[in-house]
């Protein structure tokens, strides 16, 4: 995939050098190919619009922030969805990726799920159940996860993009979203995914997990009492190419945004420990059930709780435009190399 991106980048350069652009040509021309019927993806570079196209949740708008490279054929570009954390700011995700997108020729789609319309249960937990801690399931059409697939179809229909699948990244609460999305949506068209520094995980324990209060918990902390507890769902989940990306310095036990409820605390004292424990549990369950496991544990040395640092794989990024200065376990490398 990395070689493909390099090829696309060279194509962009050749196209730019041979274009003979007139002085009257717009600074940000629309993507080539079909003309977007809604006009929302006409602008190159940074853009945004409010999306209400998923009919079952049309009363819960999503602001989609995006980045389209300044050159190249949008129809042929890979597509990356980047999911925000609990701060609910899609611009953080778009901006963390835009220099990579510009250089290597892929599109960034960063949906923003406002707290006005999406609670923690709706976002981090996908609205799979009526409320956090409830075992009453919502209809699948009401799951927030469905909006990602709908947005992908919308982008393809608007631009003529021919991608059969997309790439998926999420940091913190976004990392919660990503791994639960893959568990709940076995048919989702995801090529590779990175779940970075989630504060809590859904463990593949069909009997649930025991919290620090001695009680047994299911969704969203374990698959117990959900449709995802059967062998078919777990097999499909483990078959995903998902990177459990954790910063070795994400160890602040007093972080105000760290979930401290009983089932989360049972997963470990901080995010770094919780990620390692989740991966170990998946390895154990997959091994005992003879299910192939494609998950990869990727530890980013010296990095704490930061979207930008996980994307670049380094504890300090002095010049985000210098994409070549990234670390070996950067989210970019995990997804595209």
| CATH number, residue 48 | 3.40.50.1820
For residue 267, what pLDDT is reported? 98
Q: Which residues contact 108 (CB under 8 A, 6 or more apart)?
A: 66, 67, 80, 82, 93, 94, 97, 98, 101
User: Residue 69 falls within a domain, yes or no?
Assistant: yes
Rounded CA gap, 7 and 128, in Å?
40
For residue 256, what pLDDT is reported? 94
For residue 42, what pLDDT is reported? 87
Q: Contacts from 314-323 at CB under 8 Å and sequence distance 24+? A: 315/249, 320/95, 320/96, 320/99, 321/99, 323/99, 323/100, 323/103, 323/104
Taking only the tens of pLDDT, the chain with its 337 residues reads: 545 454 444 444 333 333 333 333 334 555 545 556 788 998 899 999 999 999 999 999 999 999 999 999 999 999 999 999 999 999 999 999 999 999 999 999 999 999 999 999 999 999 999 887 777 899 999 999 999 999 999 999 999 999 999 999 999 999 999 999 999 999 999 999 999 999 999 999 999 999 999 999 999 999 998 999 999 999 999 999 999 999 999 999 999 999 999 999 999 999 999 999 999 999 999 999 999 999 999 999 999 999 999 999 999 888 999 999 999 999 999 999 9
User: Residue 269 falls within a domain, yes or no?
Assistant: yes
User: Residue 4 falls within a domain, yes or no?
Assistant: no
| 244: containing domain | 43-336
User: Residue 28 falls within a domain, yes or no?
Assistant: no
User: Residue 303 falls within a domain, yes or no?
Assistant: yes
**Nearest one of 117, 10, 135 to 60, comparing CA atoms:** 117
For residue 17, what pLDDT is reported? 36
Exposed / middle / buried, residue 52 (Cβ in 10 Å: 0-12, 13-18, 19+): exposed
Rounded CA gap, 322 and 312, in Å?
10
User: Residue 300 falls within a domain, yes or no?
Assistant: yes
**Nearest one of 110, 104, 138 to 13, comparing CA atoms:** 104
Q: Go through 222-234 and write b for each residue having 16 or more CB atoms within 10 A of its CB, e for each that does not.
A: bbbbbebbeeebb
User: Residue 210 falls within a domain, yes or no?
Assistant: yes
Rounded CA gap, 258 and 96, in Å?
22
For residue 35, what pLDDT is reported? 58
| First-to-final CA distance of the chain | 6
How many domains are there within the chain?
1
User: Residue 214 falls within a domain, yes or no?
Assistant: yes
* 227-265 tens-digit pLDDT: 999 999 999 999 999 999 999 999 999 999 999 999 999
**Nearest one of 45, 82, 48 to 62, comparing CA atoms:** 48
For residue 10, what pLDDT is reported? 42
């Amino acid at each position: 995939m990395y070689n493909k991106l390099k090829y696309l980048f060279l194509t962009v350069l050749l196209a730019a050098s041979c274009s003979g652009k007139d002085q009257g040509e717009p600074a940000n021309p629309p993507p080539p190919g079909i003309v977007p019927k809604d006009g929302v993806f006409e602008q190159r570079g940074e853009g945004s619009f409010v999306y209400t196209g998923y009919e079952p949740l049309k009363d819960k708008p999503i602001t989609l922030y995006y980045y389209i490279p300044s050159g190249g054929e949008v129809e042929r570009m890979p597509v990356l969805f980047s999911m925000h954390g609990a701060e609910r700011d899609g611009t953080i995700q778009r901006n963390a990726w835009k220099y990579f997108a510009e250089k290597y020729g892929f599109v960034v789609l960063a949906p923003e799920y406002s707290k006005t319309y999406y609670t923690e249960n709706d976002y981090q937990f996908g609205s799979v159940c009526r409320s956090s801690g409830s075992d009453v399931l919502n209809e699948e059409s009401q799951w927030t996860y469905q909006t990602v697939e709908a947005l992908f179809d919308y982008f393809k229909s608007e631009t003529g993009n021919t991608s059969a699948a997309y790439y998926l990244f999420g940091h913190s609460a976004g990392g919660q979203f990503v791994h639960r999305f893959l568990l709940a949506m076995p048919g989702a068209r995801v090529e590779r995914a990175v779940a970075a520094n989630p504060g809590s995980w859904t463990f593949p324990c069909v009997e649930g997990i025991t919290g620090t209060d001695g009680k047994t918990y299911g969704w969203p902390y374990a698959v117990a009492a959900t449709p995802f507890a059967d062998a078919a769902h777990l097999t499909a989940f483990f078959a995903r190419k998902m990177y459990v990306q954790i910063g070795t310095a994400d160890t602040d036990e007093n972080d105000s945004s760290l979930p401290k409820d009983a089932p989360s605390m049972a997963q470990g004292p901080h995010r770094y420990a919780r990620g390692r424990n989740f991966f170990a549990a998946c390895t154990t369950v997959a091994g005992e059930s003879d299910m192939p496991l494609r998950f990869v544990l990727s530890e980013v040395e010296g990095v704490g709780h930061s979207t930008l640092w996980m994307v670049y794989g380094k504890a300090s990024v002095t010049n985000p435009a210098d994409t070549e200065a990234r670390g070996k376990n950067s989210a970019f490398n995990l997804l595209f190399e």
